[in-house]
Structure 1
Amino acid sequence: MVKYNIKSYPPAAVLKWVEDFRYFLVRFSRKFTPDTVNIIEMVQGFYVSRAIGVAADLNIAEHLRQDEKSIVELAKITKTHEESLYRVMRMLASQGVFVEKKNRYFCNNKLSKTLLDQPDSMRHMVIHQVNGINWKLFGDLTEIVTSGESTFKKHAGMDVFEYMESDPKKNELYNKAMTNTALLVSSAILSEYNFGKAKCVVDIGGGEGILLALLLLKHKKLKGINYDLPHVVSASKKTFENYNVAERVNLVAGDFFNDIPQGGDLYFLKSIFHNINDLQCIELLKKIKSVLPKNGKILIFEPIIEPNNGKYSFAKLYDTQMLVSSVNAKERTIEEFLELFEKAGVKFHKVIKTVSPFSIIEVN
């Protein structure tokens, strides 16, 4: 099992400046490029994303971990058509993913190494995003925009959560994809928030437990409860054992739509709200409020949609993923969050922006 470590990042304000400058350069270059070229480059972006998905599926980066290989060797190892594989690899190298050398040899570079099975890996997230049913959903985007309904059931015969539960392999891929993003998000959260006064943290829908494990690793006196569906919680046991924090974690199986475990003074909700509708968010907050001690707090970790300022926005981009996945799923503005808090009877305290696309929203 890959073991993550908490990473150190520059201050959020510094990275925000770098991000703004980066997208300033993108917009600046577009001003001096014909509009027809700009739009075609955007449209053809899916060529690259799908090709990266193929490389992730075939585990090309792992095959190149030790040394460079010829396309003949790669085709033999991956049991693929040599010339077709070469054309895909050649294109990826031209986009900065992998390096093409003489005589059709390829090797890894900084970008392709993110597809290795190691910390910072994005391999399972890539497969989750651009292969299988998700690819079909984006093919239905016109239909979804027209009807206002996700086509997930058309392809799977059930909703997204039933689908994950019905197939152990797909559920494993989803959980690993979520874990792939854990290092960036968890490190950002742990570096920006002061957990000094907390005694027991309950991670609602905690998945494989990476966030909670890293938190307990950093704060030796803390205890935790990882709360999720039975098949997810059982898989998280290995995570806590791997970080030597298992003795401070209680694994609780259940459905947060039905009940919430007691005993915590700090409750985590990471990537929960964007998967459920407003009414479900309100009911969930009320359930947590009913078991929250007097000085207890709730931390919500979600991307927040900023005002329409023409700048790049991860939240707005990923909201399209929410649109195709489920009729209930969406990212929210801070005003929409505040409305939920008011209806649930919880008090908004503050928002903390992090170096990741996720913000920390504190309520009590």
Structure 2
Amino acid sequence: MTPEEQSALLMRVSTGSWLIHALDAVARLGVPDVLGDEPRPVEEFADEVGADPDPLGRTLRALSALDFFTEGPRGHFALNEAARMLRADSPAPLRAFLSVGIERVLPLFSELEHTLRTGRPAAEKIYGMPYFEYLDSHPDADREFTRSLGRSAAAFFDTALDRMDLDGAEHFVDLGGGDGTLVEMALRRHPRLTATLLDRPAMLSAARERMRKADLTDRCTLVGGSFFTDVPTGGDVYCIARCLHNWDDDTARTLLRTVRDATPKGSRLLIVEDVVPDGPVTATAGYSDLVMMLIGGRERTLSEYEALLGDARFALAGAQPIGTVAAPRLHLVEAVPQE
């Protein structure tokens, strides 16, 4: 590695935390929404976003040096491909990820050493309790967490529904359904389908409002409870979307066994989850697994999912990649009950 390469590596490492704050700040101001492909003088658009032109220009100049935004003549800025992801209408919801990253993820990494020394999730040290117990006891934080996930979920739920084959299904059960994004999309696509959404009681207000606005209240039953104890019976398709990776293997195995006890013969279990390769992982997959480790979960390979399913008396029936820009490793994993 040359001295220049060493310097560039040190810069990327040392700027990580301030970069996310700087991007979040300019996104909150709405700077990406008022810029286009042609450079504009900062004095002109600073007024539009309610900012002081001097610190805004200096911030954008620094971000341009890190490949976010493009600086034309000095003090003139335009969008590039990376900055375009910060727009409110971007299909890659970087804004939501920045917000979650600052409020939830960075504090976790401050206690990574605790996890390395003890094997316990950093979240337990920070919040004094398991992560999802903290969300249960702080409903405002819980609702914001749900909204952030919902904003990033619609694109990959749309792709997942393309592959789910629900045409012959009668009742869809969404376990850990959050604000109801997936259920709403499924019911809109399949007019004869009914659904049950199970989630923690604190989560149901957002789902209830979503169903009301969509005029789907009569087709969706909302159940407050835990998918470790309260899995509804009577479904022919059960879905767990972006939940299993929240838990360690023992807990995920317990969850799947509870689901298996509730699933009738002939039903299907659909899992929407990231699947990491068996060999070396990408940088984003490695980072995602660290985040899950800090809250008490893990990302898994397909063979690891197959083993968990087998322990819970499910058989793996298939797996299809459904990745999007926001979730490139996402898969639809299908399983069927076994005796």
Structure 2 length-normalised TM: 0.83
Structure 1 segment 1-364 matched on structure 2, within 5 A: 35-36=5-6, 39-40=9-10, 42-44=12-14, 46=16, 47-61=18-32, 70=42, 74=46, 83-100=54-71, 104=75, 106=77, 111-118=82-89, 120=91, 121-129=93-101, 131-308=102-279, 310=280, 312=282, 314-326=284-296, 329-356=297-324, 357-364=329-336
For residues 312-353 of structure 1, the C-alpha deviation after alignment (integer angstroms, 9 at most, x for no partner) is 364333101112223xx1011222222212221122211112
Indicate how the Cα distance of structure 1 residues 236 and 63 shifts in structure 2: closer, same or farther if over 3 A, else same: farther
Could you tell me which amino acid in structure 2 is paired with residue 209 of structure 1? G
Q: Distance in 2 between matches of 1:62 and 1:35?
A: 34
Asked if the contact 1:75/1:85 (under 8 Å) is kept, the reply is no
Indicate how the Cα distance of structure 1 residues 134 and 215 shifts in structure 2: closer, same or farther if over 3 A, else same: same
Asked if the contact 1:227/1:251 (under 8 Å) is kept, the reply is yes
Could you tell me which amino acid in structure 2 is paired with residue 363 of structure 1? A
For residues 196-232 of structure 1, the C-alpha deviation after alignment (integer angstroms, 9 at most, x for no partner) is 2211111100001111211221222211111111221
Aligned-pair CA distance for 1:116: 4.3
Indicate how the Cα distance of structure 1 residues 35 and 126 shifts in structure 2: closer, same or farther if over 3 A, else same: same
Aligned-pair CA distance for 1:37: 5.1
Q: Distance in 2 between matches of 1:321 and 1:340?
A: 21
For residues 89-141 of structure 1, the C-alpha deviation after alignment (integer angstroms, 9 at most, x for no partner) is 22223444445565745565654454444473442322111x13421222333
Asked if the contact 2:173/2:235 (under 8 Å) is kept, the reply is yes
Could you tell me which amino acid in structure 1 is paired with residue 181 of structure 2? I
SS of 1:181's equivalent?
helix
Could you tell me which amino acid in structure 2 is paired with residue 340 of structure 1? L
Deviates more, 1:290-299 or 1:353-362: 353-362
Q: Distance in 2 between matches of 1:216 and 1:285?
A: 25
For residues 245-291 of structure 1, the C-alpha deviation after alignment (integer angstroms, 9 at most, x for no partner) is 33321111111122111221111111111111222222222222222
Q: Distance in 1 between matches of 2:215 and 2:78?
A: 36
Asked if the contact 1:152/1:160 (under 8 Å) is kept, the reply is yes
Could you tell me which amino acid in structure 1 is paired with residue 151 of structure 2? N
Q: Distance in 2 between matches of 1:34 and 1:91?
A: 19
Q: Distance in 2 between matches of 1:315 and 1:321?
A: 10
Task: Give the structure, 1 or 2, with the largest relative contact order (CA under 8 Å, sep 6 or more).
Answer: 1
Indicate how the Cα distance of structure 1 residues 76 and 218 shifts in structure 2: closer, same or farther if over 3 A, else same: closer
Aligned-pair CA distance for 1:60: 4.0
SS of 2:271's equivalent?
strand
Aligned-pair CA distance for 1:159: 2.4
Structure 2 segments unaligned to the other structure (5+ residues): none
Asked if the contact 2:198/2:225 (under 8 Å) is kept, the reply is yes
Give aligned-pair identity as a percent: 23
RMSD (CA atoms)? 3.1
SS of 1:158's equivalent?
coil
Could you tell me which amino acid in structure 2 is paired with residue 321 of structure 1? V
Aligned length: 328
Indicate how the Cα distance of structure 1 residues 342 and 144 shifts in structure 2: closer, same or farther if over 3 A, else same: same
Q: Distance in 1 between matches of 2:26 and 2:246?
A: 29
SS of 1:40's equivalent?
helix
Aligned-pair CA distance for 1:238: 2.5
Aligned-pair CA distance for 1:300: 1.0
Indicate how the Cα distance of structure 1 residues 297 and 157 shifts in structure 2: closer, same or farther if over 3 A, else same: same
SS of 2:314's equivalent?
coil
SS of 1:179's equivalent?
helix
